[in-house]
Structure 1
Amino acid sequence: MGTTTSKANKITAHDRAILDLKVQRDKLKQYNKRLDLVIAKEQEMAKTYLAKGDKKRALLALRRKKFQEGLLEKTQLQMTNLDELTFSIEQALVEKQVFEGLAAGNQVLKELHKEMSLSDVERLMDETAESIEYQNEIDEMLSTRLSVAEEEDIERELDEMVATETKAMLPAVPGASREEREAASWQTQEEQGQPDRIAVKKKATKTTRALNEPMLA
């Protein structure tokens, strides 16, 4: 692990060049500060000599001040050049890293495209569409409503189940007629909360009786 970390933190020639430029800039910055102090001092000395009436020394102080100002202007220009050069190098390094990243990404895309051809994608899309269509057909079949005849068969089967359960719950009454047993069955079903179905059965029974009775002359 130590070897890997050492390689990762290794200073390249580009890093060293940028570092050297920044060191030079810092030196010029410190030099400029000293020049500023010298210029300010010469300015004060010129004022002092002039106040004493010594114009010759005042003029000499101003000349030294002018010379220091020339040096300051040159160093400031050098600092500007160093800043621009440092920025250009750093920008070029960033662009190089971006280029390397794009190249690596392009290579990965090429490898992925080799693993996933266009024909494979088309086949997968076709299979997916067929699976969706098949599922839709199943859903449609399951959601289709039953016919009227099938609904009637279901209702009839339910009636038979109810009648069987009700008959099993009734106590045996010796000598009871079929009408009496049916009446008891209907009463029990009404108590169990099925009045609508019982009303229909009562109406059907009355109709059957009326049809079976002989008509009076």
Structure 2
Amino acid sequence: MNLEAFISVSSVSTGWCREIFRFQSLPACAYFHSSLNMRCFKVIMGNLFGKRHQSPPAISQQDQAILQLKTQRDKIKQYVRRNEKQMDHEREMAKQLIRDGRKDRALLLLKKKRYQETIIERTLKQLDQIDRMVHDLEFAEIERRVVEGLKSGNEALKQMSQMFSIEEVEKIMEETQEAADYQEEISKLLSGNLSETDLEEVESELQALIDSEEPLKLPEVPTESLPQPVSGGKERERERTAKQRVAVEAL
């Protein structure tokens, strides 16, 4: 919707508002007018600042050549199929003429058929040339894309190589080696200041930490059956018998 359409719609809505004002209150009329104008404003802004569709890529001369060759190839195939059907029909007609005794007409049809066969052979050769040319053009397009990809890759490699020079890489390697040598020297100094006893204690502590991290070993489940508990009556009977035996021995 352009600006003129927006103005016309706005004027129409003003007329509607006047009609509504006769039957409704002023706030209702103002709300109707503002809401309609807001919808028109959104339509205008959407058309002005909306996302534009990207135009399709341009067709190159190579694409046009391939399209023309394929179109010509399809036409040649249709021509060959049409002539083959015509030759089959003429062959059947020649058979019928021979049965009717009209050999001169049959011979004429066979000569025509033979001429069409020679034309089809030449046409098929042209068709092979067209197919070969189409394949060559398509392969050339593939080669062009490969070359463009290699070119882009080389440019990316050049940009990455420019980020770090050989001197910077050598400096980083030297600093890394210096840091490793410094760490090794500190380790040697610490190891030299410790006695053999200290080293043994450190190793023992390390082994203790390793053992503490291992999972707790649970006892194995017994395989033999447990003894049955003795009932209370039998236990009291045994105690009474033992007391009597002690009393007899005391006498």
TM-score of the aligned structures, taking structure 1 as reference length: 0.61
- Distance of aligned partners of 1:124 and 1:45 in 2 relative to their CA distance in 1, 3 Å threshold: same
Report how far residue 84 of structure 1 moved.
0.7
User: What is the aligned-residue RMSD (CA, Å)?
Assistant: 2.8
- Distance of aligned partners of 1:121 and 1:46 in 2 relative to their CA distance in 1, 3 Å threshold: same
1:120 matches 2:183: no
CA distance in 2, matches of 1:142, 1:50: 117
Q: Which residue of 2 aligns with 1:66?
A: 114
SS in 2 for 1:112: helix
- Distance of aligned partners of 1:127 and 1:50 in 2 relative to their CA distance in 1, 3 Å threshold: same
More moved, 144-153 vs 129-138: 144-153
What amino acid is aligned across from residue 57 of structure 1 in structure 2?
R
Q: Which residue of 2 aligns with 1:108?
A: 156
Tell me which stretches of 4 or more aligned residues in structure 1 moved more than 6 Å.
151-154
What amino acid is aligned across from residue 176 of structure 2 in structure 1?
T
Q: Which residue of 1 aligns with 2:55?
A: 6
What amino acid is aligned across from residue 124 of structure 2 in structure 1?
Q
- Distance of aligned partners of 1:64 and 1:149 in 2 relative to their CA distance in 1, 3 Å threshold: closer
CA distance in 2, matches of 1:143, 1:49: 116
Q: Which residue of 2 aligns with 1:178?
A: none
SS in 1 for 2:55: helix
Please point out which of 118, 133, 138 is paired with 2:181.
133
Q: Which residue of 2 aligns with 1:23?
A: 71
What are the superposed Cα offsets for residues 107-135 of structure 1, whole Å, 9 maximum, x if unpaired? Answer: 22222222211111111111222223333
TM-score of the aligned structures, taking structure 2 as reference length: 0.53
CA distance in 1, matches of 2:99, 2:130: 42
CA distance in 2, matches of 1:149, 1:67: 112
Q: Is the 8 A contact 1:38 1:68 kept in 2?
A: no
How many residues align? The count is 152
Q: Which runs of 5+ in 1 are unaligned?
A: 155-217
- Distance of aligned partners of 1:143 and 1:49 in 2 relative to their CA distance in 1, 3 Å threshold: farther
Q: Which residue of 2 aligns with 1:208?
A: none
- Distance of aligned partners of 1:64 and 1:142 in 2 relative to their CA distance in 1, 3 Å threshold: farther
CA distance in 2, matches of 1:149, 1:93: 78
SS in 2 for 1:6: coil
